[in-house]
């Protein structure tokens, strides 16, 4: 059972050949610190793409030696992103990472029909949390990419994250599909979707996981709360993955865990042709480092390259 994000390091073989990561718009202090640290620990090999003068100036202040890494100049963050995405698209690197550039700009480039990282499947965001008050790592999806997913999109979002969890050795992750309440309320769309996903799982239409829903947040993560409400569930209180109703709920939970609960987090975009590290600008250097680690493990276990 994974209880700390640092355990992800043990999932990389000692003899593994580090995958190549491209940092798009490298003029970002937290990202630069995190990628250099990961490269020095042989978790990745590194290519920097961005404003060379700004990146070098930043590296000097941070006392980082970036002279040994490949550098590709770009005149703007948007150009840095498109150059970086192309490098990964062309198979010249294995992992893409967002630096100092807006999330939407990054996502649009990833979705480009000409040079993007589409696979024909839905791309989604997966966040993996280490929360002091919970007994194991817990995934949360989708808090950053799909705004108001339909039932069909929720199936893809769920499957994307289950694949990641399976690749981390969690064979049958327990998935809680969240609503505001744990009973189906025909006026609350999220509870209807949750009940359908749960039934689809029972009928083997969604595999490699155990799905239950609707569950309210408290009974998804607390056995006492589930008992108190007399909920019979294989998932309640022992959830590995929380499926969010929409981006607003997801994003608020993400930020509440980080800011109120001081949780640690690693996150990435899944479903693309390569893992993508997409942390938010407010995420700490440690969150960026842990996200690189997560992407490196996923790149090793999931992608064919």
β-pairing, 124-130 vs 138-141, is: antiparallel
Q: Which of 107, 164, 270, 287 binds ligand COD (CB under 6 A)?
A: 107
Return the residues of window 166-205 that contact ligand COD according to CB under 6 A: none
Retrieve residue 226's tokens.
């589930």
Is residue 155 at the binding interface for ligand COD, with CB under 6 A as the rule?
Answer: no
Scored b (16 or more CB within 10 A) or e, 11-34 reads bbeeeeebbbbbbbbbbbebbbbb
The interface region with ligand COD, picked from 13-21, 90-98, 145-153, 198-206 by CB under 6 A, is 145-153
Q: Which C-beta is closer to ligand COD: that of 10 or that of 248?
A: 248
Q: How far apart are CA 25 and CA 50, in angstroms?
A: 4
Rounded least distance, CB 17 to ligand COD, Å: 29
Rounded least distance, CB 51 to ligand COD, Å: 23
Is residue 261 at the binding interface for ligand COD, with CB under 6 A as the rule?
Answer: no
Rounded least distance, CB 86 to ligand COD, Å: 17
Retrieve residue 214's tokens.
């609707």
Q: Which of 36, 145, 190, 211 binds ligand COD (CB under 6 A)?
A: 145
Is residue 104 at the binding interface for ligand COD, with CB under 6 A as the rule?
Answer: yes
At what angle are helices 151-167 and 285-301 packed, to 10 degrees? 80
Is residue 78 at the binding interface for ligand COD, with CB under 6 A as the rule?
Answer: no
The 113-142 contact track toward ligand COD, x by CB under 6 A, reads ---------xx-------------------
- The residue assigned the tokens 């920097």 is 48
Is residue 111 at the binding interface for ligand COD, with CB under 6 A as the rule?
Answer: yes
At what angle are helices 151-167 and 189-202 packed, to 10 degrees? 50
The interface region with ligand COD, picked from 14-22, 107-115, 233-241, 293-301 by CB under 6 A, is 107-115
Scored b (16 or more CB within 10 A) or e, 287-303 reads bbbbbbbbbbbbbbeeb
DSSP string, 16-72: PPPEEEEEES---HHHHHHHHHHHHTTSEEEEEEE-HHHHHHHHHHHT---TTSEEE
Residues that bind ligand COD (CB under 6 A): 103-104, 107-108, 111, 122-123, 144-147, 251, 280
């Amino acid at each position: 059972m994974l209880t700390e994000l640092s355990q992800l390091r043990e999932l990389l073989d000692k003899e593994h050949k580090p995958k190549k990561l491209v940092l798009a718009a490298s003029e970002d202090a937290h990202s630069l610190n995190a990628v250099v640290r990961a490269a020095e620990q042989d978790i990745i090999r590194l290519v920097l793409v961005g404003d060379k003068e700004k990146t070098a100036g930043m590296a000097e202040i941070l006392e980082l030696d970036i002279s040994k890494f490949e550098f590709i100049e770009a005149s703007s963050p948007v150009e840095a992103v498109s150059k970086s995405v192309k490098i990964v698209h062309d198979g010249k690197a294995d992992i893409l990472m967002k630096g100092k550039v807006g999330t939407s700009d990054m996502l649009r480039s990833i979705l480009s029909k000409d040079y993007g990282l589409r696979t024909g499947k839905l791309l989604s965001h997966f966040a993996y949390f280490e929360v002091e008050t919970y007994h194991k790592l817990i995934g949360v999806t989708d808090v950053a990419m799909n705004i108001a997913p339909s039932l069909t999109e929720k199936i893809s979002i769920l499957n994307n994250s289950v694949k990641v969890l399976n690749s981390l050795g969690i064979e049958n992750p327990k998935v809680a599909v969240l609503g505001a309440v744990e009973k189906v309320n025909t006026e609350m769309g999220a509870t209807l979707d949750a009940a359908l996903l749960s039934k689809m799982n029972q009928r083997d239409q969604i595999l490699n996981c155990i799905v239950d829903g609707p569950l309210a947040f408290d009974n998804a993560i607390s056995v006492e709360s589930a008992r108190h409400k007399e909920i019979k569930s294989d998932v309640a209180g022992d959830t590995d993955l929380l499926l969010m109703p929409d981006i607003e709920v997801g994003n608020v939970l993400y930020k509440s865990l980080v800011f109120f609960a001081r949780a640690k987090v690693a996150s990435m975009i899944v479903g693309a042709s390569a893992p993508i590290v997409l942390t938010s600008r407010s995420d700490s250097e440690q969150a960026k480092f842990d996200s690189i680690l997560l992407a490196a493990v996923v790149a090793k276990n999931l992608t064919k390259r």
